[in-house]
Amino acid sequence: MRDKMVVRVTNGVNSGGSMTKLPSSLRILPLTAAVVLPALFSSAQAANLTWDPTGVPTSPAGGSGTWNTTSSFWSNGSTDSVWTNANNDSAIFGGTAGTVTLGTPITVNNLTFNTKGYTITGGTITINGTITAAGGGSSNIFSTITGSNGLTKAGNDILNLNGANTYTGNTTIASGSLFTKAANALPTNTTVIFGSDTASLVLKSVGQTVAGISSTSSLSSITVDGSGNFDPTLTIDPSNGPGGGTDSTFSGTISNGTSGNHPVLSLTKAGAHSLTLSGTNTYTGVTTVSGGTLAVNGTHTGAGAYVISGGTLAGTGRITSTTGFTFSSSGTLNAGAAGTGNIGTLLLNGPVSASSASTFVFDVGGASNTYDIVKLASLNANNITLSLTDKGAYTWVNGDVLHLFENISGGNIAISGTFADILLPTLSGGLTWDTSSLYTSGTLAVTVPEPSTIGTMILGMALTGAMIAYRRRRA
């Protein structure tokens, strides 16, 4: 036996600072603490493994089978091994497409479809990384996706989801198309983030609620696969999101599908916070605003009705609805971008009807003395409230005219019906409000009362004082 060298260690420290060479007859020295040498051990490294249920690891052929943690169906290029959830390995599906049934809960890092037509079904799967659809067609995950890392879809092809997925976090469509084949296939508390110009979300004739939609590209899209049995509704409810939700902006297009019996898409904005649409939208279903704010800063040329009940319609864009706009049950119109005090002009091309308990709010202020404007085709005001809110920076002078309502084609617009309440800022310096042209031209004016009006006011005050004095004497 060759000589050995031993280091004496006390409490994890080399107490002597030197090594002792022992004779061939090895002598064991007592240690006062356990010594762990991590460099002598290595944990399994995450690997890219290819689905190989046929058992040819050097040339995996793909196909159908059961994905579990006991069958040696995963090739590293030379040998097959069982799947180990704890390794955080990535799974690759190629060769011949097939149906992969989960026989136990599976945890995977990245999941890649290099062949179209694969379907993963049954059980639950936790995906910590990215799902890539790159097989030149559609790939399917019908299992329930769980976990806390959200879902990221990459690749230029289609990924279909059909499970009651429960993962938490954002849903990111980095590229390609994500299809929902079942109602709420995306968790209702997720925000859908569109990561590239061509990223798209497609609803297959089923309803879907999410906490938000976010895109900075005008080429991203939301549309419908109309081959199902119902015309779908997309509901944006930020209150479902973490911490009660947040505002979101979608710059892409929202449109109907182009085929099938049910291609019409409707949109509902519910819950608190705002959704801003700044793209070119053409969907023709009903737009419902039941909570928070829907701000249309782009265009919407669909023919569907707008129903504002309990929420606020805002924006600086142009909306065309041949069916019209209905405000009721605390529905609010507030031109300008979403948020308090943002000044702007909103165009509503279609008949507007507003019932009692609804409010039209106009903000006025800013360094350039600007104010909100609503351009309309027609307005029937049924005992609604008109509120003019001074944001504190407007300088009022005699002769100011605020053209709050204008005809969408230019010029004045006549308003039918009545305003039950007209709430206006308090003026100083002897100025007063003139509302006499509100119904005929949609304007409010700031004036100084005429002398005859002042005299009438003084006379009225004098008569009132005299009447009070007379009553006191009589008493």
pLDDT tens per residue across span 170-201:
999 999 999 999 999 999 999 999 997 889 99
pLDDT at position 131: 99
**Rounded-to-integer distance, Cα 393 and Cα 388, Å:** 14
End-to-end CA distance of the chain: 131
The tokens 């911490």 sit on which residue?
Answer: 243
Q: Please name every residue paired with 180 in a beta bridge, in sequence order, or none if there are none.
A: 161, 203
pLDDT at position 465: 44
Instruction: Determine which of 80-94, 412-426, 444-458 has the lowest per-residue pLDDT on average.
Output: 444-458
Given a cut of 90, whether residue 459 has pLDDT beyond it is no
pLDDT at position 342: 85
Residue type, 354: A
Name the band, by pLDDT with cuts 50, 70 and 90, for residue 474: very low
Contact 115, 138 (CB under 8 A): no
pLDDT tens per residue across span 86-141:
999 999 999 999 999 999 999 999 999 999 999 999 999 999 999 999 989 999 99
Residue range 156-182: mean pLDDT, rounded: 97
Give Cα separations from 441 to 8, 129, 246 (angstroms).
99, 60, 39
**Rounded-to-integer distance, Cα 409 and Cα 318, Å:** 12
Given a cut of 60, whether residue 37 has pLDDT beyond it is no
Given a cut of 70, whether residue 382 has pLDDT beyond it is yes
Contact 393, 366 (CB under 8 A): yes
Name the band, by pLDDT with cuts 50, 70 and 90, for residue 434: very high
**Rounded-to-integer distance, Cα 62 and Cα 51, Å:** 6
Contact 23, 3 (CB under 8 A): yes
Q: Angle at CA 339, nearest 5°, toward 335 and 343?
A: 40
pLDDT at position 366: 67
pLDDT tens per residue across span 313-357:
999 999 999 999 999 989 999 998 877 668 999 999 999 999 989
Identify the burial level of 171 via C-beta atoms within 10 angstroms of its C-beta, where 0-12 means exposed, 13-18 middle and 19 or more buried.
buried
Neighbouring CB atoms inside 10 A of 363's CB total 22
pLDDT tens per residue across span 213-250:
999 999 999 999 999 899 999 999 999 999 999 999 99
Share above pLDDT 90 across residues of the chain, in percent, rounded to a whole number: 77
Mean pLDDT of the chain: 88
Contact 444, 433 (CB under 8 A): yes
Two tokens, residue 125:
């799967």
Write the secondary structure of the chain as one string of H (helix), E (strand) and C (coil): CCCEEECCEECCEECCCCCEEECCCCCCCCCCCCCCCHHHCCCCCCCEEEECCCCCCCCCCECCEEECCCCCCEECCCCEECCCHHHCCEEEECCECCEEEECCCEEECCEEECCCCCEEECCEEEECCEEEECCCCEEEECCEEECCCCEEEECCCEEEECCCCCCCCCEEECCCEEEECCCCCCCCCCEEEECCCCCEEEECCCCEEECEEEECCCCCEEEECECCCCCCEEEECHHHCHHHCCCEEECCEECCCCCECCCCCEEEECCCCEEEECCEECCCCCEEECCCEEEECCEECCCCCEEEECCEEEECCEEECCCCEEEECCCEEEEECCCCCCCCEEEEEEEEEECCCCEEEEEEECCCCEECEEEEEEEEEEEEEEEEEECCCCCCCCCCEEECEEECCCCCCCEEEEEEEEECCCCCCCCEEECCCHHHHCEEEEECCCHHHHHHHHHHHHHHHHHHHHHHHHC
Instruction: Determine which of 161-175, 332-346, 400-414 has the lowest per-residue pLDDT on average.
Output: 332-346
Given a cut of 50, whether residue 402 has pLDDT beyond it is yes
* 470 CB-near residues (< 8 Å, 6+ apart): none
pLDDT tens per residue across span 41-69:
334 579 999 999 999 999 999 999 999 99
Two tokens, residue 13:
């420290």
Residue range 257-279: mean pLDDT, rounded: 97
CA 394 to chain CA centroid, nearest Å? 35
Name the band, by pLDDT with cuts 50, 70 and 90, for residue 369: confident
Name the band, by pLDDT with cuts 50, 70 and 90, for residue 6: very low
Given a cut of 50, whether residue 305 has pLDDT beyond it is yes
